[in-house]
Amino acid sequence: MAIKIFRDYERLSQEAADEIISLVKHKPRAVLCLATGDTPRLAYEILVEKANAEKVDFSAVTFIALDEWVGIPPDNAGSCFFFLHNNIFKPLGIQAEQTHLFDALSNDLPSECAKMDFVIHKKGGIDLILVGVGMNGHVGFNEPGVAAALKTHVAELDATTQLVGQKYFNQSTALKLGITLGLDHFMQSRKALMLASGKKKAEVMRLALEGPVTTAVPASIIRKHPDGTVMLDEDAASLLKA
């Protein structure tokens, strides 16, 4: 695992966008799994700008969802579906056939999970997974204490996630369950990028990078990834010893 520290959020975002673009240039049929959330927002803005300016061909890329809030419809601005469509798919002209997202309204969530596992398998695995880190150390909705061997599953969201998640919604919203790729998918992805920005992530990144590797802090598992890179701005790195 490598740790890269950037002076600020802009430089970090620039680098994350460049990583995605260079992969797609090198492998036009790449399978990408890109997290939602506030952290990668600027990276995606830069990605879209650069990809369009440089006419990078995304027409053969496959996009896999990382996670979704169960019960939240796709037209709700707080859903991961809405985020991905507005920040990535629409501006890059990605076709529906290229995307594999969760139906969070499904009354058969186990089959939603199985479908996602099947798609990932059929596509030959994920080339690049880009994740953020929750305030409790979660990755996707792999909450503290999750079993590392899990693939796609439905997770009970812990109190921190239920509370912090309110920031994505216009009104107070019940967030009890999430559907998510598992840590096994994260570890099997050929390349993993983990982004964290801001002072508020400094403590959880200290735990993830300097505490024990444990699913009590799911983000710590990146230390075992054969091609994992943690990208931090100076604020998020401010509590690291090294």
Measured distance CA(110)–CA(182) in Å, rounded = 13
Chain-centroid distance of CA 119 in Å reads 17
What residues form DSSP beta bridges with 233? 6
**Choice between 60 and 105, CB closer to ligand GLP:** 105
Distance CA 95, CA 61 (A): 10
Output the smallest distance, CB 43 to ligand GLP, in A: 11
Residue 140 or 182: which CB sits closer to ligand GLP?
140
Question: What is the sign of the dihedral through the CA atoms of 69, 168, 135 and 205?
Answer: positive
CB of 131 to ligand GLP, least distance (A): 6
Q: Does 156 bind ligand GLP (CB under 6 A)?
A: no
The distance of closest approach from Cβ of residue 69 to ligand GLP in the complex, given in angstroms and rounded to an integer, is 8
Residues 111-150 contacting ligand GLP, CB under 6 A = 131-134, 140-141
* Separation between Cα atoms, residue 70 and residue 177, nearest integer Å: 5
Under the binding rule (CB under 6 A), the answer on residue 79 touching ligand GLP is no
Task: Collapse the DSSP code of 193 into the 3-class scheme (helix H, G, I; strand E, B; otherwise coil) and give the result.
Answer: strand
| 138 in catalytic set | yes
> Exactly one of 31, 33, 37, 202 binds ligand GLP (CB under 6 A); which one?
37
Handedness of CA 201, 207, 213, 216 (dihedral sign): negative
Q: How is residue 167 written in tokens?
A: 């920031």
Least distance from C-beta 161 to ligand GLP, angstroms? 6
Which residue among 78, 165, 218, 228 contacts ligand GLP (CB under 6 A)? 165
The yes or no reply on residue 217 touching ligand GLP (CB under 6 A) is no
| Angle in degrees, CA 160, 162, 163, rounded to 5 | 65
Active site residue 136: yes
The residue whose two tokens read 């690291």 is 240
Q: How far is the CB of 169 from ligand GLP (least distance, A)?
A: 12
Catalytic pick from 136, 142, 225, 233? Answer: 136
Per CB under 6 A, 218 contacts ligand GLP: no
Q: What does DSSP say about strands 177-180 and 67-69: parallel, antiparallel, or unpaired?
A: antiparallel
Residue window 45-74: x/- pattern of binding to ligand GLP, with contact defined by CB under 6 A = ---------------------xx-------
Catalytic residue among 19, 67, 68, 233: 67
Q: Is 202 in the site for ligand GLP (CB under 6 A)?
A: no
Dist CA 176 CA 197 (whole Å): 26
Q: Give me 238's structure tokens.
A: 């401010």
What backbone torsions phi and psi does residue 83 show, to the nearest 5 degrees?
Answer: -60, -50
Binding site for ligand GLP (CB under 6 A): 35-39, 66-67, 131-134, 140-141, 161, 165
Which positions are annotated as active-site residues?
A: 67, 136, 138, 143
